[in-house]
Chains A and B, each alone.
Chain A
């Protein structure tokens, strides 16, 4: 049986306490909420914390409140099940329900949290392996090694950003609420990410995500999430397309956002694709052009399931489909 290494489990009594524990314990500490990303990685030796600070029971991280003054509040500690089954979410942001409901399996979604999915570690076929395998392969840049095994000349780790919910939140302009030693700050969620397989998060190590707010402006926007993967369950996205569009009464596109996941080490906001359709009556030609632009921004490499040539090709197909759905050209 694969087992966990030894560690100390610190049950934080409050969010403040958790942040303090993170500061006090230093870089040997990690937070744990659902544990569905963390524990497998500890069993495989990818993460080696000496302390785990548990956010599991913190009331500050709970709640899904659709009608707040600023918009929709979603606590980082809510489970993916709670999100995908929430009545208001399903009604207003079906893309979010689709994305959350597509993560792994019903079992895992009962454990895994929103925060966990937003910060899910980047993935790579050379990295998500046991210690034995990684040692046999020669360790990689992301853990214990010097070179990237996918592209030995790359200075940067190319591990794939694999969150389903992050691109959707980004497409809806969501804000992240972070609590750190200096107090609370809010930041546009997309700004928390950068295209680096190792340092893919810009947040401070001691900062904890309290929750996410989807602004009121996003209410009424049409939104969709499409996911490419091998099976209908278990599998991470090897491509995800989150799209959100709003239309005038005359069916002119007023705003558009296209965000890709699993094509680089962070959610990829494809502004060029949105620019093609905004201000237009969205027809097949415009969609084709937008999809073309999105495909150019997609750079899958050979480190996830399915042929990377195919994944790149699918970017266009999936973006086309997503936009056509929003424009009412397909159902």
Chain B
């Protein structure tokens, strides 16, 4: 790993919270305990779709040990992560939209009493026929309409775009390939169940501790629904025991404990059961896809037409963004002169889908990469060669107006292919063994915030103690990816001190400047840039004091090894502590703020807000596997993965993100699925039945990190937490084809599907017929100027 000129960046250091996590000291939300605390439970709908006629809570309220019971009437204000689609209620008041939709909440002396009280709440439902498929949802009318705010049927959003000259592209193509795919839904399954604790104190202020990835958005939602000003609410995100996107919006249970605490004046805790976590969901959307591609005989892509049909579940959640994401990043990996995208997300009577690692992009990436593998085969080309000849170039703008800064994909692919001995193995392994390839790209942070505003996406405040201690305050929340450590590394690097001398205070809306949260792989880039800015402001002040003390011009001074020293004569130095004291004496108490907002993106069409980012990460993967021809069971032997992360702040953490992504990808590719009965009931809401791979299923992973030093990233860094998931899934599919000669167009690839395919009995995926709206047309070059780093 390159470490030119860095003292901390690039080092394999332990995370700053590692030992706390290895000794059981880390306090997760459910580990919090307060005196007088009471416990909440939520009553959930047993019907997938029903009107609520009446709710009677008297019997529950009169049960000994029950402190409060609330229903939808107590929390009438609707909310939702996206301001354009606020269609959720903390407790359903008129209608339930999936099995598990909460309708009432209880606070009681113990979980057992609360549970008992739930059984004493009488709800009169008028069941309605559930809508469970995209096909039904697209044409649903009358009482089959799940919401009334959307324009027609159960269509939440339908979008259509045309970029470049698509028609001409297809006309110039020598071959046109047209295929359909299906990617089943799956869920995050963090080991920590959802948990929140609220306390509304006698001072009229509310504090909410929650296992959340987005304390700021939660802060806003609480204020809106509870009718309390944000200034009276404090949200503290506790260390998150796994998120993967599943804890990145405000949830019913968080709002309900807050309300219950306001009513009881006591601390109220809620911990959802594992089953409830499956109902909260917000996981991977099931998506049907159709992809039509025109290519030249030499493999050059001419035009692509991509359609996606998303089964969104009962509410909008992040769905508006998801539908765009299923179309946005197709153009970022390979040059595509003409691109048409049509996508639709529908409501169905199932738990709402939302963002899961890769948000809306693993599904199309799977389809595109399997499709390209098939195209290469038809054209008699090596699939890697086909890709290498048309990789997107650095410092370009894609046909849909996305600005590419750096890309290390070529290096990723070349090093990967060498390491995995691709040429020697591809189409050369014995029957039953196979090797497959795919590549991908992902955003390093969404270019726009969830709600429209001109404020920074991330803020960092730094305070210097006269004893030399440095405290960095930031709203970011560590969900295990190591964002607290990254913040400490950046600050330590800037001040030339040991990360152990840096304290970080994060994810507390009373204490820390806003950071939008741990989603969209944004934290390293955005908090990193904000932290650097804050550090440099403070360093200017410190340098002035040091320059006076050492009688050396400030531009010949540097921060290194716990000192401020002369660059030319290193022994002319003062200690960092001394420098801080001199500066404090001269300028007063020392602190500084830094903030970051992503650069404006070049395109300006409606819908262009999803897809832009400061910088794209790139990944490529090769998977080697075996498939038993008799049982069709698949065993992955090895995964090679190369990832362009811009700069590896800490290679251990980057590798950890890559390996975790590979793991999650393999689970999705081969076994995980969130599926439902015809009644609308979740088929398998348990850890036993939802198949999360164990240590025995996980193959050895060889990770190659590629550094491209992106100008937008702090010290050149891009993301690593989500992108590496993307190529693995199609690489598995392509490897299976290499092994046994069948292409499975459905995820997960289960043995029964493989066996059916081997016998020629696996039906092709059908996609609904649907008339999309007329496309928004956009040509490269239209729109605003590209601004450099903000």
Contact = CB atoms under 8 A, between A and B. Distances in A.
A233 B631 contact: no
A130 B273 CA distance: 11
A133 B696 contact: no
A254 interface: no
Contacts of B275: 130, 132-133
Interface in B682-697: 682-686, 688-689, 691, 693-694, 696-697
A232 B693 CA distance: 9
Interface string B252-290: 000000000000000000010111000000000000000
A133 B685 contact: yes
A227 B686 CA distance: 22
A231 B46 contact: no
Interface stretch (A90-98, A176-184, A205-213, A305-313): A305-313
Given A306-B752, A307-B750, A3 B111 contact: yes
Contact of B693 (A228, A231, A305, A306): A231
A318 B677 CA distance: 29
A125 interface: yes
B112 A230 contact: no
Contacts of A306: 750-752
Contacts of B688: 128, 234-235
Interface string A135-168: 1110000000000000000000000000000000
A231 B685 CA distance: 17
Nearest to B694: A233
Nearest to A307: B752
B681 interface: yes
B399 to A, nearest CB: 42
Interface in A293-331: 305-307, 309-310, 313-314, 317-318, 320-321
A309 B752 contact: yes
Q: Is the interface of B mostly helix, strand, loop or mixed?
A: loop
A309 B681 CA distance: 23
A230 B271 CA distance: 30
A310 B44 contact: no
A202 to B, nearest CB: 28
B752 A136 contact: no
Contacts of A233: 694, 696
Contacts of B689: 125, 128, 305
Contacts of A232: 694, 696-697
B99 interface: yes
Interface in A71-106: none
Contacts of B630: 317, 320-321
Nearest to B761: A309
A231 B684 contact: no
Contacts of A128: 686, 688-689
A125 B273 contact: no
A125 B752 contact: no
Nearest to B39: A1
B637 to A, nearest CB: 14
Interface in B26-81: 44, 46-47
24 contacts: A125-B683, A128-B688, A130-B273, A130-B275, A132-B44, A132-B275, A133-B681, A133-B682, A136-B46, A136-B99, A136-B681, A137-B679, A137-B681, A231-B696, A231-B697, A232-B694, A305-B689, A306-B750, A306-B751, A307-B750, A310-B755, A314-B631, A317-B631, A321-B630
Interface of B: 44, 46-47, 99, 111-112, 271, 273-275, 630-632, 671, 677, 679, 681-686, 688-689, 691, 693-694, 696-697, 750-752, 755
Across chains A and B, which 4 residue pairs bring their CB atoms closest together, nearest first? Answer: A232-B696, A136-B46, A310-B752, A307-B752
Given A3-B112, A132-B46, 14 more contacts: A1-B273, A125-B684, A130-B685, A135-B46, A136-B681, A137-B679, A137-B681, A230-B691, A232-B694, A232-B696, A232-B697, A306-B750, A313-B755, A318-B631
